[in-house]
A and B are shown apart, each in its own frame.
Chain A
Amino acid sequence: MSAQDRQNGSMIAVRGLEKRIGTQEILRGVDLEVARGETLAIIGRSGGGKSVLLKHLIGLMRPNAGEIWIEGQNIINMSERELASIRQKVGILFQGSALFDSMTVAENIAFPLREAGERDPKTLRKKVSEMLEIMEMQGQEEKMPVNLSGGMKKRVGLARSIIRQPSCILYDEPTSGLDPVVSDSINRLIRRLQKRLCVTSIVVTHDMKSAFDVADQIAYLHDGRIYFHGTPDDLRQSQDHLLQDFLLGRSDRRGSSPPERSAGN
């Protein structure tokens, strides 16, 4: 399996992933493949299990069944300490940014490097200011996270997750709760990172503009399974009612969709 994946150039492969939380079936057999260097947007309704799927990809949640292959390694049975090597290759931007609120912006961004053993204050300062420049946030080093706006927090969170130059970045709702202008700047940032770092990206979102802006491929997660997987153009041209309803933001008329779930996105 691993050799085959490497040959196919697939960075991430998910097979038959199932997850129950309590009595709710969140994922009912997700199959997904992401090629190296590709940007995949996972769209779907709120509460449909998108964030849950994303957390599985980095081992933050454990599935009830299925396999997850990252660069040819099955991460399902890895222990928390073994996962560290995978997590150095895969960065994640959390929905709420999850900045360490007792540290300044600079300390947050430098944290992964410091933990990896980099002690030289000059190098750290230089790397942090480089990151802030990419994020268009120069001179904000000494601010505390509590004094940042939502968009700035996302940028700092993103800077923290890419400072170790991962080969894959996972974005959990990067534009949720931001105004259209800030959302657009985040989308531009995602595209710029694709070009600059040549990373594989997975963007979980329900913001269709964002999905069309950044994605090479789009997957629609519905009812715990991947209902559609194709290019943005395929999606636009699709005559499927469910997809059309989602694209146009029509609420469900036939009652075939699952009810809104409360356990996260």
Chain B
Amino acid sequence: MFPRFFNVLGSPLIRFIQYLGEVVMLAADTFQSLFTRRLRWKLFLNQVVEIGLLSQLVVVITGGFTGAVFSAQTYFQFHKIGMGSATGAVVSVALMRELGPVLTALMVTGRVGAAMSAEIGTMKVTEQIDALRALAVYPTDYLVVPRALAMMVSMPLLVAECIAVGIAVGYFVAIFLLEVNGTYYMANMVRWTRSRDIIMGLSKAFCFGILIVFISCHKGLTAREGAVGVGRATTEAVVNASLAVLISNFFLTMTLNILYPAGYQ
């Protein structure tokens, strides 16, 4: 009875721990070569374009419509108790601390994480990664380092953009559609938003970027044979990275809140 119980419980647990270990080892390997090996600037800049520049539209639309709808919903509730002009403060703080980083991370996972694991996975199953190794090029240096660095640079910028667009659109919705007093709206927003809110958002962005890039690259590097293998690797990369973002967000919120407490002080 007991051995079977442990068997059923144990083997997925061991697999999970092994998986975590592999991702952490990949990250350690990447950071080591980031500091000790020469950086391939061209590949890095290509990735910045791929991750940062080409994700703009997605991020702007995400930020814009989230800001719009959040502003409207907040106003509908606050208006009833005569606090319509506090909408700006709620929208800006919520976007900075939670919505901006999390939604951007989820969109980037779908756009960039999927592409990374599919590209690296295809290279794996067509022996291109073996070819790299055979030509004395370490795959982590060539494939993972430029992507990881580009992600660490791009994610905070994308999140900042998402937040800025969200706040701007929220403002327009509140002022022009819902006819809130613009002066009070701005005054409240500036009064209740602190620099630590934006620091928290950008710190989260950085952490999410790291999670997405290593989970996606790891899935690509361990893809199994054939089109099915690449498909599965891509799906798992997106699912795992999205879950990692959502789960780690809670712990990041609790930890970072000690460093950068919320509220007006």
Contact = CB atoms under 8 A, between A and B. Distances in A.
Interface of A: 55, 58-60, 80-81, 83-85, 87-88, 91-92, 94-96, 98-101, 111-112, 115, 160-161
28 contacts: A55-B130, A60-B130, A60-B133, A80-B138, A83-B133, A83-B136, A84-B136, A84-B138, A87-B136, A88-B136, A91-B134, A92-B134, A94-B131, A94-B134, A95-B127, A98-B127, A98-B128, A98-B130, A99-B131, A100-B123, A100-B131, A101-B126, A115-B135, A115-B136, A115-B137, A160-B135, A161-B134, A161-B135
A160 B137 CA distance: 13
Q: Which 4 A-B pairs have the closest CB atoms?
A: A98-B131, A98-B127, A87-B136, A84-B136
A87 B138 contact: no
Interface in B84-127: 123, 126-127
A95 B134 CA distance: 13
Contacts of B134: 58, 60, 87, 91-92, 94, 161
B236 to A, nearest CB: 21
> Which residue, of B133, B136, B138, has the highest number of chain A Cβ atoms within 10 A?
B136
A207 to B, nearest CB: 20
Nearest to A59: B133
A96 B126 contact: yes
A10 to B, nearest CB: 22
B138 A94 contact: no
A99 to B, nearest CB: 8
B221 to A, nearest CB: 13
Contacts of B131: 94, 98-100
B107 to A, nearest CB: 25
Contact of B135 (A80, A85, A87, A96): A87
A98 B131 CA distance: 6
A80 B128 CA distance: 16
A263 B110 CA distance: 33
Contacts of A83: 133, 136
A101 B138 contact: no
Contact of A80 (B126, B130, B133): B133
Contacts of A91: 134
Given A99-B128, A115-B136, 9 more contacts: A60-B134, A84-B136, A85-B136, A87-B134, A91-B134, A94-B127, A95-B127, A111-B135, A112-B135
Contacts of B135: 87, 111-112, 115, 160-161
Nearest to B135: A112
A112 B138 CA distance: 12
A111 B136 CA distance: 11
Contacts of A85: 136
Contacts of B138: 80-81, 84
A99 B135 CA distance: 12
Contacts of A115: 135-137
Contacts of A59: 133
Contact of B127 (A84, A96, A161): A96
A100 B131 CA distance: 8
Interface in B18-35: none
Contacts of A87: 133-136
Contacts of A55: 130
Nearest to B40: A115
